[in-house]
Structure 1
């Protein structure tokens, strides 16, 4: 075995061992309901102590265990997917740095130490998005980095506001602090989490980040970058319960994000972008759950979603890798005859995504929907979340319809098969997680059953919405294949839906025009213009002029004294008149 594959195998074994270790610790902490806090004071600033804090409770240890498990399988998968890359060792180190930043962010209950992991995720994600070094990758990396910088600024400002509370440890809230300060801190944290988890209006960077290699996409969309914002809000859930305004705004924006992503995925043709939009929709479900006060339920859906979403991306990577790097689903078809294992795995992941009983996604997604039926939810958000559930089934069926069934369309591909053992071994572990992970995590996170009292019609509502979504996806595909081109009759609506409500255009326009061009104009007229005239250069000219006059006075010139005498006498005469 070559060194390139050995590095991925060593990383795989290392992360699997640590994943098992942290899972055992999380079970111990969950049974005893205790946690361990390690704190090192770095310096004292006024009455505040700047310290490095690490928190090991059941939630952080369980999430770290899952992140390490998925990262180990993704790294092992990368050994085969990136085997022809000359810089595969650099790629592996970048992914390991990415995972380390996420670990640091998970363990930190202190905003200052959170910022280190938060910025580490942004920096390494930029390096991974531009890994292929094409123009498209560089544009996507710039959009990703600039969008996430907004969240970084929000974290920095919240650190400033939390300084008045005497501590940056957000798990220890101060009862004496004013309501306005807590509201401002929560608003900044919600804005930061929305940028990292790509909620409206910061959603444009998530599909653009698909320019990264597929193993990176599997890691980013399952358990690392986009889940960091959700995890931070779960930790800030006591603040959200105290400030009602944050709940209402987050509820509405998360519902709109779910609907926008589900609608856009039904018109998308890029395989990776369809899965990316499904991630965006599920992130909206998690934010929706947090806004209603169900932080543990959101965490449960975060864990189950990570299992089947990683499997979905690995299957997509296997299809793309075998199909001569095709990503357009219209150029695929009949893959069930050539890649049966990848097709079965993708179908399982799609079923879990839709919430089919009794797969991983069913236990968390169905619980969120049934709890929303019991809560005092407004009609708009109720309509949006169930419509988004139907759209999820629609685009999942559409993806299966185009890629796995029908006739063979890839005439230029000579070898499409499941022969790569590294791919199949990596997917097999996540297949078990997608099937059994939901029930196992349900027993662990919620050991006592929850009683949900609903009528038979409301109980079957979720299943009926899924069935109607599949039917809608089938009819949408029939329209796209019809002879009269009926799908072109609504071309403006199609363009609006497929372009994510023009969010990519608005994001890039505001980034290039409102910020970069405005910064260039400010630099020309300000830094090298008026600021220079009235600033350093202007002060220098004035000082030199005063210095010359002072030098002339010190030279004892008779002409100067005579001129000053004349001026003095002229001034006296003017005063007398």
Structure 2
């Protein structure tokens, strides 16, 4: 009975969302923003039914429809996977999207195309649900491309701005590079196996490293790991609700979810696991270091997302998929709330995003200040908030595993830096005095505060409820207390150090007026300049050299006038004895004439 209820509710959720979208095809009955928000709300409460049933029973079933596409080696079905990952994360994605949609009605209240914006958000959500519930790679690829296209449209929502268009193109191009890996995997499996995920799991013993590398490349591109990371901070050019949805429960977590879903085929491959470990640890450290030097509030939060995604990838490298899924779920709550609070602050400061120009906002926006403080504390891993139950466990796991020592050190440093950029942002934004004149005032209305309050409730209780409902009994502590308390002690040390450093900077700022130098972390370790400027410039110069200098010189000198002249000279030398030695010819002629005249002269003796 339980699988039937879960299957029915999953289909009902999909049909509700599709029905709301199909209403846009009718020009006379366009759905309102309230209707779409209520549809998502209704879908969320419906999704709680299978989530509740999942807590009592371990469910792992699928919902298969008749075959639509028949290939020579296998058939393609519309096939939904109903397991822990899909059921739990569907509820989280619906809850966060419902909150963001309600916030958008306040944030974009003056936008003439707000209905279209809400439609894009709903398609974005539906594409992510397709990825979560897909039980074959063809279906997953549809959702995979869906979130990519919708991110392009939503990041470039304000398309009159050049920066927004550039950021949207940057996002779609980086993701297209990652899509090459997924396509490579699908082509390989088309020849050697099947696209059905359950059949792929049954053939893990015959799987080579090629499809796994393809999955790795796809995840690195979609989840903005190191090498593909610049598009994520650039995506902040879109509206703040887009950033909240993009960074919390859709798009960027799709890459991690792909590795999570396909983990049974890579769990015994040490090469891929080591690759996940290396990429994850490098990403989490460099992103945290870069976030500590940024001044744009949205870029600080975006780079913290990249750092947390690196931590999830590192956890997958430790062969702990359920722990990575838990951190992905907990991260969704406080990351969405961070962006919504940032949107509230930006809206009240006339679109000012520089944290150095903010200050004293705890008096102006007390509820928003409380929410952003709680979200930052959850991000740091403060005990009994949602981030504590996943992030600290990851640190404990890596310190107790047989992994590389350097990966552990990078993770611990990144843990310290997460406290650094969080405390720095709170001190600059909420304390001292406001440094700019407030020109607009958007009070903390119910429309704005309801979604933030819901996410605040999830941030506070999400981890605790998960622990109480899934593990009713606490296991016996077998690790040393120093390891158990390592994450908290490092966070506290970083918090104290950051507070003292900020205080010293405020004292020195009164004495020195020198501009802040452009450091390597500020400039993302020159990665942007290297990839986006140096490499294209070098390629252009090489192309120019080969196309103009070498090609033109070859065509003009070898085949053009100079080449023809050289050929004529050669032919002249072959057909005549004349060597063009005029002086020698004239001297010989003169000497021969003189000698002949002397010999033929009658007076010659």
Q: Which of 143, 146, 149 is equivalent to 2:176?
A: 149
Rounded to whole Å, the distance in 1 between the matches of 2:510 and 2:330 is 40
Give the unaligned 5+ runs of structure 1. Answer: 525-577
**Gap change, CA 1:313 and 1:521, over 3 Å in 2:** farther
Q: Are 1:429 and 2:460 counterparts?
A: no
The aligned counterpart of 1:467 is 492
The aligned counterpart of 2:337 is 311
Q: Which of 298, 301, 306 is equivalent to 1:275?
A: 301
User: How far is the alpha carbon of 1:480 from its aligned partner?
Assistant: 3.7
Q: Secondary structure at the match of 1:316?
A: helix
Rounded to whole Å, the distance in 2 between the matches of 1:450 and 1:197 is 33
**Gap change, CA 1:281 and 1:405, over 3 Å in 2:** same
Larger Rg: 2
Equivalent pair of 1:338/1:417 in contact (CA under 8 Å) = no
Q: Are 1:254 and 2:291 counterparts?
A: no
Q: Are 1:213 and 2:239 counterparts?
A: yes
Q: Which of 3, 7, 12 is equivalent to 2:37?
A: 12
The aligned counterpart of 1:339 is 365
Q: Secondary structure at the match of 2:424?
A: helix
Equivalent pair of 2:201/2:265 in contact (CA under 8 Å) = no
**Gap change, CA 1:511 and 1:4, over 3 Å in 2:** farther
The aligned counterpart of 2:410 is 384
User: How far is the alpha carbon of 1:417 from its aligned partner?
Assistant: 5.8
Q: Deviations over 1:196-254 (max 9, x none)?
A: 11001111111000011000101111100100011111111112212110011110111
**Gap change, CA 1:484 and 1:99, over 3 Å in 2:** closer
Rounded to whole Å, the distance in 2 between the matches of 1:95 and 1:130 is 13
Rounded to whole Å, the distance in 1 between the matches of 2:540 and 2:204 is 39
Rounded to whole Å, the distance in 2 between the matches of 1:36 and 1:515 is 52
**Gap change, CA 1:491 and 1:85, over 3 Å in 2:** closer
The aligned counterpart of 2:595 is none
Rounded to whole Å, the distance in 2 between the matches of 1:48 and 1:522 is 48
Q: Which of 455, 458, 483 is equivalent to 1:458?
A: 483
The aligned counterpart of 2:19 is none
Q: Are 1:420 and 2:466 counterparts?
A: no
Rounded to whole Å, the distance in 2 between the matches of 1:521 and 1:67 is 52
The aligned counterpart of 1:99 is 125
The aligned counterpart of 1:48 is 74
Moved more, 34-43 or 81-90: 34-43
User: How far is the alpha carbon of 1:452 from its aligned partner?
Assistant: 4.3
User: How far is the alpha carbon of 1:175 from its aligned partner?
Assistant: 5.5
Q: Which of 63, 72, 75 is equivalent to 1:38?
A: 63
Equivalent pair of 2:204/2:265 in contact (CA under 8 Å) = no
Q: Which of 179, 185, 192 is equivalent to 2:211?
A: 185
Rounded to whole Å, the distance in 2 between the matches of 1:249 and 1:520 is 38
Q: Which of 67, 81, 86 is equivalent to 2:93?
A: 67
The aligned counterpart of 2:468 is 443
User: How far is the alpha carbon of 1:154 from its aligned partner?
Assistant: 1.2
Rounded to whole Å, the distance in 2 between the matches of 1:407 and 1:344 is 17
Rounded to whole Å, the distance in 1 between the matches of 2:189 and 2:528 is 33
Rounded to whole Å, the distance in 2 between the matches of 1:259 and 1:485 is 32
Q: Which of 284, 293, 296 is equivalent to 2:322?
A: 296
User: How far is the alpha carbon of 1:397 from its aligned partner?
Assistant: 0.5
User: How far is the alpha carbon of 1:364 from its aligned partner?
Assistant: 0.8
The aligned counterpart of 1:500 is 524
User: How far is the alpha carbon of 1:276 from its aligned partner?
Assistant: 0.5
User: How far is the alpha carbon of 1:20 from its aligned partner?
Assistant: 2.2
Equivalent pair of 1:263/1:391 in contact (CA under 8 Å) = yes
Rounded to whole Å, the distance in 1 between the matches of 2:356 and 2:92 is 34
Q: Which of 269, 277, 286 is equivalent to 2:312?
A: 286
Alignment size in residue pairs: 520
**Gap change, CA 1:73 and 1:518, over 3 Å in 2:** farther
RMSD, aligned α-carbons: 2.8
Q: Are 1:238 and 2:250 counterparts?
A: no
Equivalent pair of 1:203/1:503 in contact (CA under 8 Å) = no
User: How far is the alpha carbon of 1:456 from its aligned partner?
Assistant: 2.1
Q: Secondary structure at the match of 2:68?
A: strand
Q: Secondary structure at the match of 1:54?
A: strand
Give the unaligned 5+ runs of structure 2. Answer: 1-27, 549-605
Q: Are 1:397 and 2:384 counterparts?
A: no
Rounded to whole Å, the distance in 2 between the matches of 1:126 and 1:515 is 27
Q: Counterparts of 1:479-518 in structure 2 under 5 Å?
A: 479-483=504-508, 495-509=519-533, 512=536
User: How far is the alpha carbon of 1:445 from its aligned partner?
Assistant: 4.4
The aligned counterpart of 1:323 is 349
Q: Secondary structure at the match of 1:55?
A: strand
The aligned counterpart of 1:170 is 197
User: How far is the alpha carbon of 1:410 from its aligned partner?
Assistant: 1.7
User: How far is the alpha carbon of 1:381 from its aligned partner?
Assistant: 0.8
User: How far is the alpha carbon of 1:437 from its aligned partner?
Assistant: 0.9
User: How far is the alpha carbon of 1:182 from its aligned partner?
Assistant: 3.0
Q: Are 1:131 and 2:148 counterparts?
A: no
User: How far is the alpha carbon of 1:451 from its aligned partner?
Assistant: 4.2
Q: Secondary structure at the match of 2:432?
A: coil
Rounded to whole Å, the distance in 2 between the matches of 1:379 and 1:414 is 52
**Gap change, CA 1:27 and 1:523, over 3 Å in 2:** farther
Rounded to whole Å, the distance in 2 between the matches of 1:45 and 1:515 is 42
Equivalent pair of 1:16/1:69 in contact (CA under 8 Å) = yes
The aligned counterpart of 1:89 is 115
TM-score of the pair, normalised by structure 1: 0.84
Rounded to whole Å, the distance in 2 between the matches of 1:58 and 1:176 is 22
Moved more, 269-278 or 13-22: 13-22
Q: Secondary structure at the match of 2:78?
A: strand
User: How far is the alpha carbon of 1:129 from its aligned partner?
Assistant: 0.8
